[in-house]
Structure formats: C-alpha cells, structure tokens
Chains A and B, each alone.
Chain A
Amino acid sequence: MKAFRKVTGTGVPLGRSDIDTDAIIPQQWLITTSREGLGKGLFSNWRYRDDAFTPDHGFVLNEPRFARAKILVAGPNYGCGSSREHAVWAHLDFGIEAIIAESFGPIFRDNALRNGLPAITLDGAAVSQVLAQLAALPANRMTVDLERAEVTGPDGTAYRFTMDEERRRALLDGIDDISATLAHAPDIDAFHSADRIRNPYYWVQPPRD
C-alpha cells in the first residue's frame, strides 16, 4: 500500500447525505478484471449528460475551480451500499487523495484505508463549516495532515480528527496488511489444528460435492 502522510490541494464539496457506491461508480464500470482506469467512471451518472461523456456543468466536479480536486468533503454516510472496491479505486484514479465526512459506509471506509486513501471522520458541525466555505469562498485549498491528525479548512481553521491508531500507522507507513498478518502464521496454524479437533464439522466438506 502507498504511504500517506499529508496532502494539500483543492477541496471539493459534495454535501449530499447517503451517497452510495452505486452513485460513486455505476455498475457499467464494474465490468472489468482490472483496478485501473476507473477515474473516468467516478460519479459518471452525475458528471456526464450522456453516453458520449458530455460534462453536466451543474455537477460540482465539473466546475473549473474544483476540476483538480484532491480532497473530497462529503455528507454523512458517504459510500454506503455495495462493497465494490472499485469505488475507492475510482477516487484514487481521478486524483482524490483524501475524503472527509461525518460518517462513512462501513465497507467503503475499510476499503479506502486498505488502499492508502484516508477516510477521515470529523463531527457534523466541522464538516458543515468546511462545506459552506468551499461553496462560498474563492479559496478552496485545504490540507489533510495524517501525522498531526489535523484537517485545515479553506479559511485556515484547523480541526483535529481521530482515527484508529493502528490504521493511522498503517497509512503513514504504507504497510502491507497481508505481510503483517502472515507474521502471525504460527498462531493461525495452531488455531487450525486445534479447531479441527474442537469443531471438526466446520472442516468437513459439505455433501453433494
């Protein structure tokens, strides 16, 4: 996993609540065996007016001042719905490097953190404040600093955030989750041996095979 320490760049406000992963990456983009090239599909039903990718200028990501956004600020329950990790890959391929919301869909959040994309939780008042500033001010530069666990809004206000310490370290160090788990291989082996005796029926092959 790519390490993440800090990003400074354009913030984009997407204040709707309950944006689901079907909206983030509609189903036609899932017909692939690759993780690549999904940025074009990010919010495609909202970003484009037709199948020829004609931009819908009413959608915030098509506004010139947000075109190169790196930090997405969203309404509560962002990424609810389907477990499709394509939703995370699409953000990264588009150029979004951090997402801030009051809350996240549980699977989306885990997927993001496992891909070096910090999904940062701030309280509702702080998110509302940042959303309002991004919508109103010409200034839209923000910073997400994971080492200091701090978000800096467009007006320079700093907001502290908390994140599971183990996840924060994993992001900072860009650790490979699988390698970390394989360090416990002797424990896994011991559990398997014991469980075959304790719960043998969990280890037999079901019938009709």
Chain B
Amino acid sequence: MTPITADATSLFDKLWQARLIKDLGDDRGLIHIDRHLLHDLSSPQAFAGLRQAGRPVRTPALQVAVPDHIVDTMPGRGDATVRGGADMIVALRRNAVENGLRLFDIGDPRQGIVHVVAAEQGIVLPGMTVVCGDSHTCTLGALGCWAFGIGTSEVEHVLATQTLVIRKPSSMRIRVEGRRGAGVTAKDLALGIIRAIGINAAKGGVLEYAGPAVTALSMEERFTLCNMGIEASARSAIIAPDETTFAYVRDHCGSPEWLPVATEAWTMLRSGPQASFDREFHFNCTDLAPQISWGTNPGQTIGIGDAIPPLPEPSAPRERASAERALAYMGLAPGQRLEGLPIAKVFIGSCTNSRISDLAAAARIVRGRHVAPGVRALVVPGSSRVKAEAEHLGLDRIFIDAGFEWRESGCSMCVGMNADRVAAGERCVSTSNRNFEGRQGPGARTHLASPATAAASAIAGHIADCRQVAGR
C-alpha cells in the first residue's frame, strides 16, 4: 500500500511556487507581480526614474493608481490640499494617463484608501502577488494573497519589469483560539496579539493567521487583523481563503463566469497539516478586553480597564529606556489608568478601520448621543464607495447629528501629512495603526483603539470602555 503523503507545504510556499518565474539560486526568486497599486506618496520619484532611464511601464494593465495620502478630506474637495501636495496628485494623474494605467482619481466613485479600494473593487484576488509602495499592503493578505509593501526603488522595478527579485522570506504562523467577548473587535485582537508576541516578532517575514478565532472573522475583520501585521514586523500577513473569502470575492467581482473554476483552484491555498514554520505562536482571545495603546509603538498596549504596567527592570535597560521615553512623550506614568483620561480628538478611519462594518459599529454607540464639549471628532470613510454606502444607510446623519465631522475618503489623520492633524500635546483616540512619536503631527499623543472604543470615548470626552455604553 502506498503511504498517503501528508502535505508539508505552507500556504506561503504554495504562493511562492505559483508566482515564481525563475529560481535564481541561493534562496532567491524572480517573482511575478499580479497587481501593483500606486498612490500619490511613493510613486512620483519612481516614474521620474523610469523617464530618466527611458524605460516604459512593462505591463500597464496590471497597475492601478489612486490618490489617498495627501488628499484633502473636506467635502467638495479638489486637488488643493496642504502646500506642495497638489503637485503629488497632479504627478500621479499625469503618470497614470501618460502610461495608460487605470486611475481612480479624486471625484471618481472608486477613489479611496488604496488598500480598501483594491479589495472592494475586486482588483485583488486570492493567490495573487500584490505590491504597493506602502507598508500596510499586508492588509490584502486577508484575501489569501501574498501582499507586501515596497519602497520607491521597488515601485520603479515593478513598473519596468512586473517582477521583483526576492530572497524567500521566513514564515511564521499564529494560531488564535478562543471566543472574543462582547465589545472585543478584530482591532483589539490585532493589538492584543502584537502586545503578546512583540513588535519585532515576525522579523520581516510572512505571518499566517490561523485557528478558529481567525476563521470566525468576517472579511472586513480579517483586513483589520492583517493590516496590523507589519506592526509585528510581518512584511506580509496572510489568511487561507475559505467560504468567507469566496463570498466576498463573489460580491465584489460581480460573479464572472470564471469564478467557479478560480474558486476550485483557491481551495488548495492552505497550509498542509505537516507544514512547518520558522516560528509558531499561540494566542487565546477568550479573556481579551478591548485594547488601547498607552505608548509610542503598537505593542505598548493594555486592556481598557488596566493600569499602565510598571517600568521594566533595570536589568532590561533598553526596554526600560523605551518605556520611559514613551511615557514622557505621552505625558503618562506607570500605574496610571487610561480610562477617564481627557481627550481632544477622535479619529475614526484609516486602512485599519474605515470600512462599512467599522462605521456601523461606531454609529451604534453614537446614535442619539453627542460628542463631548471640547472634543473634535472625525469620521473618514475608507473609500468613496464606503462613504456612499454609509450615506445610503443613514450613518452619516447619525455622526453629523452627534457632532462628528463627516469627511471624504483618504488616509487623513492616520498619516498626518494632509490637513488632518493632531496638535502638539493633544490626546487622540485613533482607529489607525501607528502611535509613533509625531505620527499624527509633531507632539501628537495617539491612543490606538477600535472604532467602538473611539466612538465611546468621543461621547464621554475621555478614554472610555465601549462596553459601558450600550449600543443603540
């Protein structure tokens, strides 16, 4: 009898093999790129490089361009934004038109944050390789594709060759077990995991999220989880495609005739039972509370009701120095509780938490209530399509009646390079992904949290537990 050979290849191994043009030896491969997403921040210098070298775009049909980072978010906007910013939008437009690339320009109903748009427009599919000059490209790995952020030189390389030369990255898996409690969202899961495994845990490799608590997530929740992969230094995050994925693709591709064949192929995209990883983690989410960051990296996070941990021992000087510096920047002290801390701003948006389910979760808390005096609160939909859908559902009225500003889509206050900023010393509860020093503006104090926590805090005027505020 022939023994049954157990499948020992990981999901990532399968993607690598399928998109490998040529083995270059020494663990390096020439990799085909299925989708290249371009935006206003990281692409102008790449096109300039192409022009200088007299090189054409190798495969225009596989590129999609959308302005998001620098764009203004005020209703009725045009190209005008912060000083110098319009040049970047104009450059993207000119480069797209001159090279025959698809462009979802300002005013186009498909415009939005590149990672939100690429999924909802059916541009990215399971099994693909997807790159973008943006570290949060790992978001799209939620669809079961190999998606990763690149720099501008690599953007130029992809434009010229539709490939990248890559040394095969290390691979990790985290199995997430347990059941999330009430008020505990995918964002809390993402933050809780980073806090547990550390911000350098994935060491630049590919991190597969698996286990029953991951399978149970909706597609939009999976985007949130994978979005934060890079904050654990995973250049790519990935979830094996399943029925949830296929249903999402069907809904966003308009059921083309090729879908059954493709779906059949995509069911093979999973790690075999014998697959091995360079590192494996386990995480149980049953006792996880809603999370909020206290420091200046996403791992410096606690449960909403907890106190800031004591300083690390002097025997760990680096960790201690890092915590001391973060606390000084944030104006906080060990042992202090975050709950009840007054805030100046609330930001609901970003490629982490700006999809329709995020806005709906926030609206459930906001409905019939009002933003506290002295708090400025923004809702910035992830795309023009999300915005239209929210308006169709009447969510915009709920936010506006409650005193929130209802904006056009873009990266907004997550990246702090457009007009939406947090002033020095101001405290902001933000649904974005980075609480780095100065990220939302020089001296800005960012507390990362879920849309529900952000909404509850906006109403309370201080950092608040969303579970204490009944949804309506």
Residues of chain B within 8 A (CB-CB) of A187 are: 21-22, 30
**A-B residue pair count with CB separations less than 8 angstroms:** 188
Q: Is the pair B151, A111 in contact by a Cβ cutoff of 8 Å? A: yes
Given contacts A114-B151, A207-B254, contact A27 B417 (CB under 8 A): yes
The residue that A165 contacts in the complex, of B26, B44, B265, B319, with Cβ under 8 A, is B26
Q: Is the pair B22, A201 in contact by a Cβ cutoff of 8 Å? A: no
Q: Is the pair B134, A81 in contact by a Cβ cutoff of 8 Å? A: no
User: How many Å from the CB of A209 to the closest CB on chain B?
Assistant: 7
Please, how many residues of chain A have a CB less than 8 angstroms from a CB on the other chain? 61
Task: Considering the complex, give the chain B residue whose CB is closest to the CB of A80.
Answer: B233
The answer to the question of B179 belonging to the interface, with a C-beta cut-off of 8 Å to chain A, is no
Q: Is the pair B200, A16 in contact by a Cβ cutoff of 8 Å? A: no
The answer to the question of A107 belonging to the interface, with a C-beta cut-off of 8 Å to chain B, is yes
The answer to the question of B187 belonging to the interface, with a C-beta cut-off of 8 Å to chain A, is no
Stretch at the interface among A2-10, A32-40, A54-62, A149-157: A32-40
User: How many Å from the CB of B317 to the closest CB on chain A?
Assistant: 10
Q: Is the pair B135, A30 in contact by a Cβ cutoff of 8 Å? A: no
The answer to the question of A133 belonging to the interface, with a C-beta cut-off of 8 Å to chain B, is no
Stretch at the interface among A63-71, A91-99, A139-147, A175-183: A175-183
In the docked arrangement, what's the CA distance between A45 and B262, Å?
Answer: 50
Q: Is the pair B321, A26 in contact by a Cβ cutoff of 8 Å? A: no
Residues of chain A within 8 A (CB-CB) of B396 are: none
Contact mask B221-235 → A, CB, 8 Å, 1/0? 000000000100101
The answer to the question of B154 belonging to the interface, with a C-beta cut-off of 8 Å to chain A, is yes
Given contacts A187-B22, A207-B253, contact A178 B161 (CB under 8 A): yes
In the docked arrangement, what's the CA distance between A115 and B436, Å?
Answer: 25
Q: Is the pair A22, B135 in contact by a Cβ cutoff of 8 Å? A: no
Choose among A18, A31, A202, A208 the residue with the greatest number of B CB atoms under 10 Å from its CB: A31
Q: Is the pair A18, B199 in contact by a Cβ cutoff of 8 Å? A: yes
Stretch at the interface among B121-129, B339-347, B354-362: B121-129
Top 3 nearest A-B pairs (CB, nearest first) are A106-B204, A111-B151, A33-B44
Interface residues of chain B, those whose CB is within 8 Å of chain A, are 21-22, 24, 26, 28, 30, 32, 34, 41-42, 44-45, 48, 53, 55, 58-59, 61, 70, 82-85, 87-88, 91, 102, 110, 121-123, 125, 127-128, 133-135, 149-154, 156-157, 160-163, 165, 167, 199-200, 203-204, 230, 233, 235, 253-254, 256, 258-259, 261-262, 265, 297, 318-319, 321-322, 325, 415-417, 434, 436-439, 442
25 pairs from A and B in contact (CB 8 Å cutoff)? A18-B322, A20-B436, A22-B439, A27-B438, A31-B83, A33-B88, A34-B45, A45-B438, A76-B318, A82-B434, A83-B150, A85-B45, A109-B204, A166-B28, A166-B167, A178-B160, A181-B157, A182-B160, A184-B21, A187-B21, A188-B30, A199-B262, A201-B262, A207-B122, A208-B254
